[in-house]
Amino acid sequence: MLCTALVFFMHLGFSLLEIGLTRQKNTVNILFKNFFIICIGLVLYALIGFNLMYPTSFWRGIIPDYFFALFGLVSPSVAEGLDLTYNTGYTYWTDFLFQGMFAATAATIISGAVAERAKLGSFFAFSMLYVGLVYPLVGSWKWGGGFLDSWGFYDFAGSTLVHSVGGWAALVYITKLGARIGKFSSEGKPMAIPGHNLPFSATGVLILWLGWFGFNGGSVLSADPALTSLVLTTTSLSAAAGGLAAAGFVHLVYKNFDLTMFMNGILGGLVSITAGADLMSITDAIFVGAIGGVIVVLAVALLDRLKLDDPVGAVAVHLGTGIWGTLAVGLFGSAASLHQFFIQFIGIAIIAAFCIGFSWIALSLIAKFFGLRVNREEELNGLDQAEHGGMNAYADFRMNQH
């Protein structure tokens, strides 16, 4: 239950990270979006997910049973909901809340990538579909005991099942959405659009690191104290190594102490270790994190070259190191083998195909009927003006216009 609280707190971390790395004129919009994701995620998960699972639900009579089976759902009776023997040491409710908090994370990842130009309603529509359908379906392939699980695919706490799933959608979304006005010069050169509040971003990163204690620690679901302590240690070391590697690599290349790369490197280290946090020694964890940190820097540069605009680096962090962390299970730690590496690769490829395909189709339909992007004037004035009645995030402060 403590871990659930920490995973909940990650939503504050994501929100602060995102507003800090974007412009002040879109701050209210980003906060609104994040509040919405948390709230609708929980309520939908309760109304649909929960009702789907429980036989007393009125959905039960309407929707055929094979639909439940599709999502790998079990159907305990309501009385079992308070049963401590539901699983080793926790109740159905604990599981429900932890999973509900988890699910919304995938939408939050997308949110960061599409910031500053996505239409609010269209984003809500897509993220509800994605969190409601893609996330649990893909999850059922592994955590629900589906075919990936039976093949031996390993993903401890979601490098692929949470982070890459969010990352693939983010990648497709920014491809269809296009870059923010001013992100690329007329010659196609990438231009820096600096974030407006780096202390918020730094706060967000440290809150996320704290939350990862709950995310990875809570995924040792039976709360085996010995294993939990190992997982928290590998998690922290990978984060630290990721940050140092990213900052060091940037310093070598650009002769500069780059704070945002340091922060993204830490997040990259956290995502990298998520697939195998319970399998790694501390030396493994440091290697996995450090390589993850370098991958973040390279992925950011690659996106720039592809003229894709991801204001907060969500694709680099969550997709780039999500893939890396999943592959790393086959290369480092106690499960490493060529066979395992191959299975990890296959799992990533299948999930990639499904997520990209779904996202492309769903976003094309939404684009056709509602549009994905605010208009030029709205973007230039900022989304707080356009969608929130001119609410100003910092009413007393004087601002530079840009």
Site for a copy of itself in 96-155 (CB under 8 A): 96-97, 100, 120
- Residue carrying the six token digits 């196609």: 188
Q: Smallest gap, in angstroms, from Cβ of residue 338 to a copy of itself?
A: 25
What's the one-letter identity of residue 283?
A: T
Q: Using the rule CB under 8 A, which residue among 187, 189, 368, 398 binds a copy of itself?
A: 398
- Cα distance between the two ends of the chain: 44
**Piece of the chain touching a copy of itself by CB under 8 A; list 21-29, 126-134, 175-183, 314-322:** 21-29
Q: Using the rule CB under 8 A, which residue among 17, 24, 117, 317 binds a copy of itself?
A: 24
Could you say which DSSP state residue 373 is in? B
User: Would you say 175 or 281 has its CB closer to a copy of itself?
Assistant: 281
Q: Smallest gap, in angstroms, from Cβ of residue 117 to a copy of itself?
A: 16
Q: Smallest gap, in angstroms, from Cβ of residue 96 to a copy of itself?
A: 6
What's the one-letter identity of residue 123?
A: F
Residues 322-361 that bind a copy of itself (CB under 8 A): none
Q: Smallest gap, in angstroms, from Cβ of residue 323 to a copy of itself?
A: 23
**Piece of the chain touching a copy of itself by CB under 8 A; list 18-26, 160-168, 361-369, 372-380:** 18-26
Q: Which residues are registered as beta bridge partners of 184?
A: 190
Q: Using the rule CB under 8 A, which residue among 247, 270, 312, 315 binds a copy of itself?
A: 247
Instruction: Specify whether the CB–CB gap between 217 and 83 falls below 8 A.
Output: no
210, with CB counted inside 10 A (0-12, 13-18, 19+), is: middle
Residues 259-298 that bind a copy of itself (CB under 8 A): 259-260, 262-263, 266, 282, 286
Per-residue binding string, a copy of itself, 205-224, x by CB under 8 A, is: xxx-xx--x---x-------
Number of residues that bind a copy of itself (CB under 8 A): 101
Residues 360-389 that bind a copy of itself (CB under 8 A): 387-389
Q: What is the 3-state secondary structure (H, E, C) of 223-240?
A: CCHHHHHHHHHHHHHHHH
- 200 near a copy of itself, rule: CB under 8 A: yes
DSSP codes joined into one string, 311-345: TT-HIIIIIIHHHHHHHHTTTSSTT--HHHHHHHH
Handedness of CA 384, 385, 387, 391 (dihedral sign): positive
Residues 63-92 that bind a copy of itself (CB under 8 A): 81-84, 89-92
Residue of 156, 145, 161, 152 lying closest to 73 (CA atoms):
145
Distances (CA, A) of 119 to 44, 125, 370: 21, 10, 9
What's the one-letter identity of residue 89?
A: G
Task: Output the CA angle 77-81-82, nearest 5 degrees.
Answer: 135
- 55 near a copy of itself, rule: CB under 8 A: no
**C-alpha–C-alpha distance, residues 87 and 69, integer Å:** 20
Q: Which residues are registered as beta bridge partners of 48?
A: none
**Piece of the chain touching a copy of itself by CB under 8 A; list 106-114, 153-161, 166-174, 227-235:** 227-235
User: Would you say 296 or 319 has its CB closer to a copy of itself?
Assistant: 296
Q: Using the rule CB under 8 A, which residue among 113, 162, 308, 393 binds a copy of itself?
A: 393
Q: Smallest gap, in angstroms, from Cβ of residue 18 to a copy of itself?
A: 11
List Cβ neighbours of 307 (8 Å cut-off, separation of 6 or more).
179, 184, 188, 190
Q: Using the rule CB under 8 A, which residue among 73, 203, 356, 367 binds a copy of itself?
A: 203
Residues 25-44 that bind a copy of itself (CB under 8 A): 25, 27-28, 31-32, 35-36, 38-43
Q: Using the rule CB under 8 A, which residue among 17, 19, 308, 314 binds a copy of itself?
A: 19
- 58 near a copy of itself, rule: CB under 8 A: no
**Number of other residues whose CB lies within 10 A of the CB of residue 242:** 33
Q: Using the rule CB under 8 A, which residue among 129, 237, 279, 323 binds a copy of itself?
A: 237
